[in-house]
Amino acid sequence: MSESGKPTLAVWKFASCDGCQLSLLDLEDELLALAGAVQLAEFREATSGVVAGPYDLSLVEGSITTPHDAERIQDVRRASRALVTIGACATAGGIQALRNFADVREFVTAVYASPDYISTLETSTPISAHVHVDFELHGCPIDKRQLLEVVTAFLHGRRPGIPSTSVCTQCKARGLVCVTVAHGTPCLGPVTHAGCGALCPAYNRGCYGCFGPMETPNTAALVPRLRELGLTERDVGRVFQTFNAGAEPFREAAVRDG
């Protein structure tokens, strides 16, 4: 708690694009109420003001890609009563986890004129690979309504009401016609975590898995259907190697079937 008696909220950035932090600022209708209910102790995207810890709730965006960040996340964990990771970078390593399938030194040599100055790890890993995480919120970016639910839940000491089912359940809830059945469009909805409200199928597009794997996804059953719809082995490998390439079920499918 802060001196004002309000719970303290800290927002931390690791290797990421800032898009998930911006989801908090994007809560236009609720932002003033939220700002009045907590003391913002650390949120560099929004304010230069900093309040020393400990913090009642830390939201962590981004993956661990440098030795310095591997140490910094330990400090954040020690200073946080509850730690929630937000987004595909923090929960699965993000698009930068594509390095996990290659030799990062080759990338560094190809991209930087003076690679000796670059200090980076061989892999991009989620926060949960380094410290205990109290809750993971998926998406690239996360959904702002789900973020509000998670913050509200932790401030009230209850579990967040976030479904662990697939995008398909959200299609059904919205009464959307299945894009695969009706149009033969390849779709990762059956194995992807719910949360976006079936955004892509609502526009007659297949899901490409930006919310990462749902709980117990059956990728082995989906892949033959994707192949029937015209995807080559290489295509299958590529659809599972995007924002959540480092999430184990998608990594496994890419290696097994790609």
User: Which residues form the interface with ligand SF4 (CB under 6 A)?
Assistant: 16-17, 19-20, 61, 87-89, 94, 140-141, 167, 192, 196, 198-201, 207-211, 243
Nearest distance from residue 86's CB to ligand SF4, in Å?
Answer: 7
Compare residues 41 and 171 and give the one whose CB is closer to ligand SF4. Answer: 171
List helix spans (H) across the chain: 19-25, 31-37, 67-78, 88-92, 104-111, 144-155, 167-174, 179-183, 199-202, 219-228, 233-239, 248-257
User: Which residue, among 57, 63, 67, has the nearest Cα to 14 in the 3D structure?
Assistant: 63
Measured CA to CA in angstroms, residue 63 lies from 15, 89, 242 at distances of 5, 5, 15
Compare residues 7 and 209 and give the one whose CB is closer to ligand SF4. Answer: 209
Nearest distance from residue 77's CB to ligand SF4, in Å?
Answer: 19
Residue nearest to ligand SF4 (CB): 19
Compare residues 32 and 182 and give the one whose CB is closer to ligand SF4. Answer: 182
Compare residues 79 and 137 and give the one whose CB is closer to ligand SF4. Answer: 137
Nearest distance from residue 219's CB to ligand SF4, in Å?
Answer: 15
Nearest distance from residue 132's CB to ligand SF4, in Å?
Answer: 21
Compare residues 39 and 170 and give the one whose CB is closer to ligand SF4. Answer: 170
Give the whole-angstrom CA distance, residue 131 versus residue 134.
10
List helix spans (H) across 79-126: 88-92, 104-111
146, two tokens:
């789900």
210, two tokens:
């930006």
Nearest distance from residue 135's CB to ligand SF4, in Å?
Answer: 16
**Other beta carbons within 10 Å of 19:** 17
